[in-house]
Amino acid sequence: DGNDCQNCRLPEGDGVRLRVLKDYAFHVVGTEDAARELDQTVAQVAIGSAGAAGSWRTVVAPPQEHRPLHQVGAAIVEAMVTAARDAVAVARAANQTDHLQVVQNWGAQAGARTNHLCFEFYDLPQIPHRIAEELGGAARFVIREGECPYCRLVRETTRSRNRLVWEDTDSVAFAPWASRSPFEIWIVPRRHDADFGRATESDIKATASALRHVLTTLARTLDGPPYNLILHTAPLRERVDATYHWHWEIHPRLREIAGLELGTGLPVNPVSPEDAVEELLSRAVAEGGAPVS
């Protein structure tokens, strides 16, 4: 980006700043002809009267901040995580859409459009399929077992420790047993809450600390890979307090998606979570100390 980085110039300011990139409307049509006809008139449709609408915004780090997330100071990470928390809370209060998706794309292979540090917010008129799957699975688990599956994951992972990457008094970072991508890591708070929009200041600091630790370990082990950082939080217009548990997922982008995955939706992961954690921890030890507290 260098001197041509728009995020360094706009919006004005020295701190973490919010940009509204695009409002958009989603339309469902039956045929290609209908889609083409609608596309010619969609610009005339007011966002407020569209059948399904949303927005795409981004929170950008201060000017000239082109370093990866784990290399910036704690204050910047906390400010960006706070912006994500506030965006979820505002979207829920507005009651206009169904889900706010927070992501960070780092590196061209992960879909990043810029190397300026930023988080992207997608305000969506439907619950994403992946979140819906998690909600359904968590609800069935609570009915069957009588507790939140994520709370149990935290408890069992910290006890067995074979997939544990890092922990402190507030958060646990581990490779999920059915990892969808090599070196996939989840950061899950010990305190149960479904809605990241209710995260406390303590939650913000703990999340920022966990992100910096885990991303540092991944960068040292995998030579600074491209990755996607994704917030999983409760939908905006559903009450799932007892069954869901907000968490962050980190997916390093180490390989291309092949035909089997595109054709079936089934993830292919050539690296077991146990092997991934062993490599992460061995590199941490070699560089002066394991990240597991």
DSSP string, 241-252: TTT---EEEEEE
In a domain, residue 293? The reply is: no
- Cis omega (within 30 of 0) on the bond before 182? no
* Alpha carbon 192 to its chain's center: 18
Assigned domain for 35 exists? no
Determine the pLDDT at residue 230.
Answer: 99
Under 8 Å between Cβ of 87 and 97: no
Is residue 240 within 8 A of residue 232, CB to CB? The reply is no
What confidence score (pLDDT) does residue 62 get?
84
How much is the pTM? 0.86
Residue 292, beta-bridge partner list: 167
Residue 44 is assigned to a structural domain of this protein: no
Does a structural domain hold residue 46? no
Mind listing the pLDDT tens digit of every residue in the chain (293 residues)?
Answer: 456 787 787 666 667 776 666 555 444 444 445 544 545 554 444 444 444 578 888 888 888 888 999 999 999 999 999 999 999 999 999 999 999 999 999 999 999 888 989 999 999 999 999 999 999 999 999 999 999 999 999 999 999 999 999 999 999 999 999 899 999 999 999 999 999 999 999 999 999 999 999 999 999 999 999 999 999 999 999 999 999 999 999 999 998 888 988 899 888 899 999 999 999 999 876 665 545 55
Could you tell me the CA-to-CA distances from 112 to 42, 55, 87, 229, 261 in Å, in that order? 27, 18, 21, 11, 22
Q: Please check whether residue 36 lies inside any domain of the structure.
A: no
Give the pLDDT confidence score for residue 5 in this predicted structure: 82
Q: What is the pLDDT of residue 13?
A: 66
CATH number at 16 reads 3.30.428.10
What gap in Å lies between CA 42 and CA 51, rounded to an integer?
12
Domain annotation covers residue 83: yes
Kindly state whether residue 32 falls inside one of the protein's structural domains. Answer: no
Structural domain containing residue 15 = 2-22+51-286
Torsion angle defined by CA atoms of residues 218, 224, 227 and 233, in that order, rounded to the nearest 10 degrees: 40
Predicted pLDDT of residue 183: 98
Overall number of domains in the chain: 1
pLDDT number for residue 147: 97
Tell me what pLDDT residue 26 has. Answer: 46
* CB burial readout 114-141, b (16+ within 10 A) else e: bbbbbbbbbbbbebeeebeebbeebeeb
Is residue 151 in some structural domain? yes
Query: Is residue 157 within 8 Å of 163, Cβ to Cβ?
Result: yes
Helices marked H in the chain:
6-9, 32-41, 74-94, 129-145, 149-160, 201-222, 259-264, 273-286
Question: % helix / strand / coil in the chain, to the nearest 5?
Answer: 40, 20, 35
